Chains A and B, each alone.
Chain A
């Protein structure tokens, strides 16, 4: 079976005042259709850089292929959500969600149907005509997710999507994302620094080394996600994987800390 996303020998160096900084080195990763893969690792390990390269926002050495086709820029097949929401502040909630469909000149009736459905999915009915500045962080991130889903991309790229939210809101949003993922069966690549979040949501977790980052360990997560959050979080499998991943990340952080 061919991969949905194929990352081969991807490396990236940044030019800074201090000279060239290697952010990523020789990274390989194959992601199958319908998989939910998380990237975790020490801060500054290049996990977001890798996500941006898959998004086509950054150039790199090596190659990224989607359905066997080489990525050479951003595309509507890959939707993205950032930690800082990145909504258009000059557009209302509804217009933010409809940005993609309108850019692609979908008929008005279809646009309205998409907006109505997604506003219900994210539970923001009554807020359609508000501007982002009038929304809480959690609401903004819901809009960002709806805006991404409006284009119906096959791949969802999530860059620490819940990193700016408080613990309560974060759990609610994780449950909503899980529900969306289970019903829509998208292929997801998520960057997070929260090991619990990674285990709760992913099928597979890739641990990256400190900079220059590369994938050093992978963990499969075989959880029955049909139950409640409590049932999942209290299960033996969840805790076994969580401890393994946590220790793995610790091993990557420790040498970086002694060097710093």
Chain B
């Protein structure tokens, strides 16, 4: 218990030092607080914003878009990945498409999505979906492909048919990789949801940040950014917990706290 408190303190220390230097630079007028507001000012703005609905409502809209896109991408990406890993024909069709679109920054097609779907949640979710799909597909594919022949053969010799192989062998074997893909995709999901809102939107935390920036309310802008950082951090921790729970059996869990290693 004491050790974990000490560990948490150790991890917070660098953040505290950066904030202290930032505050000192602002107090000593080494930076122009009009452009880089002091942490105290940001904290005041954050308190002000949290007492109203603005941050909460916009953040919820953004999180909805990011997580909806992420969930849709995970559900379909896993099937794409399994299909590619297990079917030669399916792989021949899908693999070139995945290869061609993998390195495309998906925000580049946001204007096109706006043209097709207008501004709003559909466009945002779709942009997130397209971004998250690829890491999930690629990780699932690798996880399934890496299933050792001896494990497949063992299951077959015990009477597992193709459907049982899928659910009871390939999917569990790929699960650690799927979680890796999920964590990569989670980072992308927030970036793309917020970027899409900055490009064109009537709601969302991205639009709010952009609006405060435009109007020169930098302390409020930083406060909105801080709320995103906190929300993203909490979601990431929740995902790590979920993955540690689902992967109790996995070798990686021999290392007690994966959170501490990241």
Interface residues of A (CB under 8 A from B): 52, 55, 57, 73-76, 78-80, 82, 84, 86, 88-92, 99-100, 103-104, 131-133, 147, 151, 153
Contact = CB atoms under 8 A, between A and B. Distances in A.
A89 B156 contact: no
A85 to B, nearest CB: 8
A19 B231 CA distance: 57
A86 B153 contact: yes
Interface in B140-177: 148-151, 153-160, 164, 168-169, 172-173, 175
B254 to A, nearest CB: 7
A82 B249 CA distance: 21
Interface residues of B, number: 24
B170 to A, nearest CB: 12
Contacts of A89: 249-251
A74 B157 CA distance: 5
Interface of A is mostly: loop
A100 B248 contact: no
B157 A80 contact: yes
Given A82-B150, A90-B175, A76 B157 contact: yes
11 contacts: A55-B157, A57-B156, A74-B157, A76-B159, A78-B157, A90-B172, A99-B168, A100-B158, A100-B159, A103-B155, A133-B254
B154 A86 contact: yes
Contacts of B157: 55, 74-76, 78-80, 151, 153
B251 A133 contact: yes
Contacts of B153: 52, 55, 57, 74, 80, 82, 86
Contacts of A92: 249
Contacts of B164: 103
A99 B150 contact: no
A84 B150 contact: yes
Contacts of B172: 88, 90
Nearest to B149: A57
Given A55-B153, A88-B172, A99 B158 contact: yes
